[in-house]
Structure 1
């Protein structure tokens, strides 16, 4: 796994000929065992099992459900189908001729149609080749119209009317329909066709096709003349012709359309020419909106609008397009044509497939191994290889940086080597090795030094470097904690549920203090990675709590979400929470009448004034046995009025009441009296005992006659 493009938007080559050396089949097993010590072979990443062909691959497609990848190649001509969740090859199948291109008709691999190089169409199922049919002339491309269930095959040459043809095979009827006739030049040598009917060299042809499936379902066909014809599949008639733009050079005048692609809206069209020029059109205007040069002059093979349904990064918010020829793959903006990133493999490219809603690309190329490229800033890794995200984050310098996943440093261009200048060599006391040993390899204005030698020299030159680095990390962690430390009393700005907000704020502050204490006890170092201090946002709300979560903002703003702490449900869930005083509590309390106040005033030692500042103890009334002070009542202390059941036989005692249950139990035990006032729960145990009265009174034994004995102890039988 290497970085293929050292730029602001890097591209990782997961598999391919530029990352790992393929082992030949004739290599001995002993040689394979010795490769375990080879660092290049040991660091390879085999994303898919047997994702290669014996010679080259021709085309690759990813199924709509994202579970299967089908690719064709040679030699011998064969088809490979991979099951992505297992990362393995499902099956391989040989064909009679070389495959030009193919399409997946179903959401998985079960139905596919293949355009062969021997003018045949082959239909494949999981059991094998289902049916094969021939076409009149060689096909250049293959498209499937889902609404009419027709396979469209643009072909080479002209018919008896001097027009090119796009053959229509109706899969529902099982026969060929009348072909679309496209103007590609005449059949004489003077016209553009150049003897097309007889099979001349400059034969006119329909090179490619495109269908706006997600919008108006318009058909577009690119010709060798550089024109694009639009056809309506409902009326089976031509609706317009898009001429090639005005040319300024002799080379541009010979360009032919080799690639077409509609965007999701159906209003944008991208065309690729045989000279490497790309034009972006708006169907409402015949003039191109943007012109882009691929740079190498090769025919454009693939055009893909990278419009993800789930945008995961800010970089994909702007629309982008992928263009590829046999030399390079480029990703650029559709607004101004500015380049975003690119990758240039070591072998020629034949086809490119994009895994939707991800940053993964699969290619078919002239090498033995097929390529797999990953662009992290374009999107996440697919579900079947989600581990690539962790690998890329480990390789990145700073994952929190918005421009993360950048390339390596200037000194890490080569593996296991460090680039040092002359000044750095002097600081490490290695300048005496210049010109005397092969450990220093000169390069530009410095030298490459082995990484192990550099680390040892740095440790010898500064033995306290690790201790200093450890102290620096600890200081940075403490400084970060000081920045997030609570300063003064935080003001809760919640409009609703203020008590809940204060409780959550106190809990978050307590957790922050505990985490800060752990950081200070560890003192930094390697252990500090296990402790994370949650920062405090600018509005003094701890991150990660409900106060800072926008999803629960209405909980503290909308009165409809107010919590009623006086409800029965809340008291059952929070039995220890004291409900707040009701604003109507003072108005609903029973106040003393004027007669009662006068009666209290006659009792000596009571104060009937309105002043409540007296701190003297208040005596109890002998008649009522309770505190009878108006100032004490007005200060907010009210005796709890509990219902009491008075029994006529009960007598009042002037003794002080016991405050605890234990004292009452001791009192009842000493007095041998069973009290009727029970507080709380009570346990009673009954043990069987003999009746003392029955033991004291013994029945008189009656004399019996001699010779008669009774075995029964029943008293009544002897009466």
Structure 2
């Protein structure tokens, strides 16, 4: 079966996928013999035996008991009756003229009424054509009123009174009753009562609210809809102002709304209590609308099916959103929905009649319940084989994976447009051989992308405390670099450490000896007690980050060494100042010796150093003061 996916709704073409023109018998037999080895042909599904006509089909109907399908077609004009429990053709019958449309008068196939193209009405029974009669003018449509047992035939042309006529054939009495008179305009140049000109006005279609109030609706060629009450035999209302001709009508099961289709491809939904449409939808193809059907899905959602000769659309009745669409390759003549199921049948051009199955519309009919299991298996294959288990590669990509030698030699490479579909298993193996570290690289890449995404969307937490604000800032900064910013995590959210950030007794003294020993890389001003280089409060923070912050004065390096052989402790000085002094300044002997020596220096730019060493304005140069100027201009230096 062929499957199409319109959005989230799957549509299975059960029958009619092969739309080629019929071949001669001798050539068809030869082709069938050659297709014995074709697995696709061997696994095909034949829904019904001989569900086709020699040239085209015209109309198809399903009986109320869902046991029979009656269809008409050409050429030669004939009708087929299929018995659904046996999935086979019960009998075929030829007619003298082409069938326009027909209705089933009984709950099964035994009584049917056919409107022929040569102005005849034929009554058929299992034994054959029971009776036929001739209509005064050509009929456009056929509707059966069960309450009054009348067959209603909208006709073309004008009656003796200058109006369009709907012929009433009473099957109980066996004669024509007085026709319904409907205003369809005028036909200039043709007398009333005749067939009319080529463009004669007429009544195109009819509908009846069979399961509710039994109101009749007739659509005309001037864009109006006339509503008649069959009990009083009078016209009760008229709906006009439609663009083009009215070509299709259908009442909802409740009888409160009416779907209307026009020759310009517009579909409108009316509430009978208002002349304004509830919604209007363009069918899209621009062809006249042929069929309108109110449908109910398995989940009790109300849908409307609209069809022209090119396209079938199913859309939501409440908002007009397209639910799914079906587009056969041949022109459509008539559409029939098997009520209570997801099966849709079409009579169309081409040899076979088309059958479509929509699982989301409803289950398969009981006579072909096996379709539910088949479609479930196909859905699994579609989700795995056609999407998950294949990857599209271009020819350069195949060459990079060393798979180009398989082209044309295996089914693992399926050509499609400018590349090939490759089985996913083969692709993964080839990629692993070409790059053994591809998995680790992809894993690291995805982790990095995830971290960057979280970091970009993160709002950095700021927490103000009374004591040790620098410690809180450094903790938050360390959490940010770990990609875990949370002001309530760690010691910041632990109640045991609350006093550390609130009590002044727990304030960290950066000028104390203990702090300097634990943080030897921190420079503190002895007068103010402030941190000069904005170092981390915790020494492990800087080691963990792997980088040191730079102060405004430049990079600061600290050197510590042991004081050996009883030498005095020298005062720490910066390397820049030490290079300018002739010697080191040492503490006198007997001073407090701690056994450690710390040297701090700040490298400074050469330009700044030269500016500091440049002599001040007005100072004398010892080297040039005693020398006489070689210039004869004594006023040069004045």
TM-score of the aligned structures, taking structure 2 as reference length: 0.63
1:492-641 matched pairs, under 5 angstroms: none
Q: What is the aligned partner in structure 2 of residue 183 from structure 1?
A: 183
1:272-291 matched pairs, under 5 angstroms: 272-291=261-280
SS in 1 for 2:64: coil
SS in 1 for 2:130: strand
CA deviation vs aligned residue, 1:494-528 (integer Å, no higher than 9, x gap)? xxxxxxxxxxxxxxxxxxxxxxxxxxxxxxxxxxx
Q: Do structure 1's residue 220 and structure 2's residue 217 form an aligned pair?
A: yes
Q: Do structure 1's residue 300 and structure 2's residue 268 form an aligned pair?
A: no
Q: Determine the C-alpha separation between the residues in 2 that align with 1:95 and 1:325.
A: 27
Q: Determine the C-alpha separation between the residues in 2 that align with 1:407 and 1:158.
A: 62
Q: What is the aligned partner in structure 1 of residue 15 from structure 2?
A: 15
Q: Determine the C-alpha separation between the residues in 1 that align with 2:191 and 2:324.
A: 41
1:708-719 matched pairs, under 5 angstroms: none
1:347-358 matched pairs, under 5 angstroms: 347-358=330-341
Which of 292, 301, 311 is 1:318 aligned to?
301
* 8 A Cα contact 1:5 1:342, kept in partner: no
* 8 A Cα contact 1:154 1:166, kept in partner: yes
Q: Do structure 1's residue 448 and structure 2's residue 421 form an aligned pair?
A: yes
1:409-420 matched pairs, under 5 angstroms: 409-410=386-387, 419-420=392-393
CA deviation vs aligned residue, 1:331-365 (integer Å, no higher than 9, x gap)? 00011110000010010000011101000011100
Q: What is the aligned partner in structure 1 of residue 436 from structure 2?
A: none
Q: Do structure 1's residue 397 and structure 2's residue 390 form an aligned pair?
A: no
* 8 A Cα contact 1:144 1:151, kept in partner: yes
Q: Determine the C-alpha separation between the residues in 2 that align with 1:437 and 1:460.
A: 15
Instruction: Give how far 1:188 is off.
Output: 2.4
Q: Determine the C-alpha separation between the residues in 2 that align with 1:51 and 1:90.
A: 11
* 8 A Cα contact 2:19 2:352, kept in partner: no
* 8 A Cα contact 1:3 1:407, kept in partner: no
SS in 2 for 1:10: strand
Backbone CA RMSD of aligned residues: 3.0
Q: Determine the C-alpha separation between the residues in 1 that align with 2:425 and 2:385.
A: 18
SS in 2 for 1:162: coil
* 8 A Cα contact 1:17 1:368, kept in partner: no
Q: What is the aligned partner in structure 1 of residue 327 from structure 2?
A: 344
Q: What is the aligned partner in structure 1 of residue 162 from structure 2?
A: 162
Q: Determine the C-alpha separation between the residues in 2 that align with 1:105 and 1:332.
A: 30
CA deviation vs aligned residue, 1:131-188 (integer Å, no higher than 9, x gap)? 0011100000000000000000000000121100000000000000000011001232
Instruction: Give how far 1:448 is off.
Output: 3.3
Q: What is the aligned partner in structure 1 of residue 71 from structure 2?
A: 71
Instruction: Give how far 1:419 is off.
Output: 3.0
Instruction: Give how far 1:32 is off.
Output: 2.4
Instruction: Give how far 1:207 is off.
Output: 0.4
Q: What is the aligned partner in structure 1 of residue 347 from structure 2?
A: 364
Q: What is the aligned partner in structure 1 of residue 445 from structure 2?
A: none
Q: Determine the C-alpha separation between the residues in 1 that align with 2:329 and 2:305.
A: 19
1:93-108 matched pairs, under 5 angstroms: 93-108=93-108
Q: Determine the C-alpha separation between the residues in 1 that align with 2:230 and 2:354.
A: 37
Q: What is the aligned partner in structure 2 of residue 111 from structure 1?
A: 111
Q: What is the aligned partner in structure 1 of residue 403 from structure 2?
A: 430
The 1:37–1:19 alpha-carbon spacing in structure 2 relative to 1, beyond 3 Å, is farther
Q: Do structure 1's residue 231 and structure 2's residue 214 form an aligned pair?
A: no
Q: Determine the C-alpha separation between the residues in 2 that align with 1:176 and 1:437.
A: 72
CA deviation vs aligned residue, 1:345-387 (integer Å, no higher than 9, x gap)? 0100000111010000111001111000000111110000000
Instruction: Give how far 1:44 is off.
Output: 1.9
Instruction: Give how far 1:45 is off.
Output: 1.2
* 8 A Cα contact 2:19 2:330, kept in partner: no
* 8 A Cα contact 1:410 1:419, kept in partner: no
Instruction: Give how far 1:420 is off.
Output: 3.2
The 1:178–1:94 alpha-carbon spacing in structure 2 relative to 1, beyond 3 Å, is same
Structure with higher strand content: 2
* 8 A Cα contact 2:20 2:350, kept in partner: no
Q: What is the aligned partner in structure 2 of residue 588 from structure 1?
A: none
CA deviation vs aligned residue, 1:195-222 (integer Å, no higher than 9, x gap)? 8846212210000000001110000000
The 1:322–1:28 alpha-carbon spacing in structure 2 relative to 1, beyond 3 Å, is closer
Q: What is the aligned partner in structure 1 of residue 238 from structure 2?
A: 241
* 8 A Cα contact 2:250 2:293, kept in partner: yes
Q: Determine the C-alpha separation between the residues in 2 that align with 1:435 and 1:389.
A: 37
Q: Give the length in aligned residue pairs.
A: 433
Q: What is the aligned partner in structure 2 of residue 143 from structure 1?
A: 143
* 8 A Cα contact 2:265 2:289, kept in partner: yes
Q: Determine the C-alpha separation between the residues in 2 that align with 1:428 and 1:102.
A: 63
Q: Determine the C-alpha separation between the residues in 2 that align with 1:92 and 1:321.
A: 33
Consecutive unaligned residues in structure 2, runs of 5 or more: 434-638
CA deviation vs aligned residue, 1:267-323 (integer Å, no higher than 9, x gap)? 10000001110110000000111101111111100000003xxx53x4xx3210000
SS in 2 for 1:409: helix
Consecutive unaligned residues in structure 1, runs of 5 or more: 246-251, 399-404, 464-719
Q: Determine the C-alpha separation between the residues in 2 that align with 1:353 and 1:72.
A: 13
Q: Do structure 1's residue 208 and structure 2's residue 205 form an aligned pair?
A: yes
CA deviation vs aligned residue, 1:639-658 (integer Å, no higher than 9, x gap)? xxxxxxxxxxxxxxxxxxxx
Instruction: Give how far 1:33 is off.
Output: 2.4
Q: Determine the C-alpha separation between the residues in 2 that align with 1:151 and 1:222.
A: 17
Which of 321, 327, 347 is 2:310 aligned to?
327
The 1:25–1:268 alpha-carbon spacing in structure 2 relative to 1, beyond 3 Å, is same
Instruction: Give how far 1:256 is off.
Output: 0.3
Instruction: Give how far 1:28 is off.
Output: 6.3
Q: Determine the C-alpha separation between the residues in 1 that align with 2:20 and 2:47.
A: 12
* 8 A Cα contact 1:73 1:99, kept in partner: yes
* 8 A Cα contact 1:122 1:133, kept in partner: yes
Q: What is the aligned partner in structure 1 of residue 491 from structure 2?
A: none
The 1:291–1:460 alpha-carbon spacing in structure 2 relative to 1, beyond 3 Å, is closer
* 8 A Cα contact 2:157 2:164, kept in partner: yes
* 8 A Cα contact 1:195 1:203, kept in partner: no
The 1:194–1:457 alpha-carbon spacing in structure 2 relative to 1, beyond 3 Å, is farther
